[in-house]
Structure 1
Amino acid sequence: MRRLKITVLATALACFATPALADGDAEKGEKVFRKCKACHAVGEDAKNKVGPQLNGIVGATVGMVEDFKYSDAFKEKSAEGMVWSEDNLDAYLKKPKDLIPGTKMTFAGLRKDDEREDVIAYLKQFE
């Protein structure tokens, strides 16, 4: 019984400790995504550019967009089974080279938490 109480308490605390990424505003995220459009595309006619198209990125395995040539760093993360969870996307959008050292992405990152949350909410629309 004690173990059950500890498990329930730990689960509840984990929920409160996790950032509320699902609270992003997709409409605002569309505006923030303009910073990404030079290299990435989303939507019905999205094609790879300097970076891969991002349709279906949320929940996908890293490095799985067809016909895109990924860096060795991305290939390694893909082989490890890394997934673009909301938390991983948040960390990558904050500072790409910290999450995946050796990435070809030159963008420095989005420093504001709300901008990252909004972009993730925007990307979730393109599954």
Structure 2
Amino acid sequence: MRAIAFFAVVSVATFITNQSQAQDAAAGEKVFAKCKACHVADEDKNKIGPSLNGVIGRTAGTHPGFKYSKPMTEAGASGVKWDDATLTEYLKDPKAKIKGTKMAFAGLKKDEDLANVIAYLKQFSK
């Protein structure tokens, strides 16, 4: 009986955790406000940073017309592509993921913010 109760509690906790980390593009738009000084997602336009329009699935360091740092182009040449996992790792700590990147942003620390901003970017990556 204790084992059944234990598994029931674990199942409910897992369900609640997964639901709380669901991606929310509207919330991600608010998080993206931190990025707007350097990036645009809703149109294909480079600013201080490259356009993030179509970033999901893109090889790192390859957006046309943007001068990337050597480490970023090397990351792309080594096979780094922007997907949920790679973006999560990069946006959490850009300088740790790609040492020598020009991106000065310190990173997003909350998992919820990371998931939401990626959901926001996905809207412009179809």
TM-score range, shorter chain: 0.7 to 0.9
Alpha-carbon distance in structure 1 between the residues aligned to 2:73 and 2:53: 19
Q: Shift in Å at residue 81 of structure 1?
A: 1.6
Is 1:30 aligned with 2:29? Answer: yes
Q: Which has the larger radius of gyration?
A: 2
Runs of 4+ in structure 1 deviating by more than 3 angstroms, as ranges, are none
Is 1:111 aligned with 2:109? Answer: yes
The 5 A counterparts of 1:1-127 are 23-44=22-43, 46-127=44-125
Alpha-carbon distance in structure 2 between the residues aligned to 1:51 and 1:62: 13
What secondary structure does 1:23 align onto? coil
Q: Shift in Å at residue 23 of structure 1?
A: 2.3
Alpha-carbon distance in structure 2 between the residues aligned to 1:43 and 1:85: 18
Alpha-carbon distance in structure 2 between the residues aligned to 1:64 and 1:55: 12
Q: Shift in Å at residue 111 of structure 1?
A: 0.3
AA matched with 2:33: R
AA matched with 2:54: G
Aligned match of 1:3 = none
Size of the aligned set, in residue pairs, is 107
| Unmatched 5+ stretches in structure 1 | 1-15
What secondary structure does 1:54 align onto? coil
Q: Shift in Å at residue 86 of structure 1?
A: 0.6
- Aligned-residue CA RMSD in angstroms? 1.5
| Unmatched 5+ stretches in structure 2 | 1-13
Does 112-121 or 79-88 show the bigger shift?
A: 79-88
Q: Shift in Å at residue 43 of structure 1?
A: 1.1
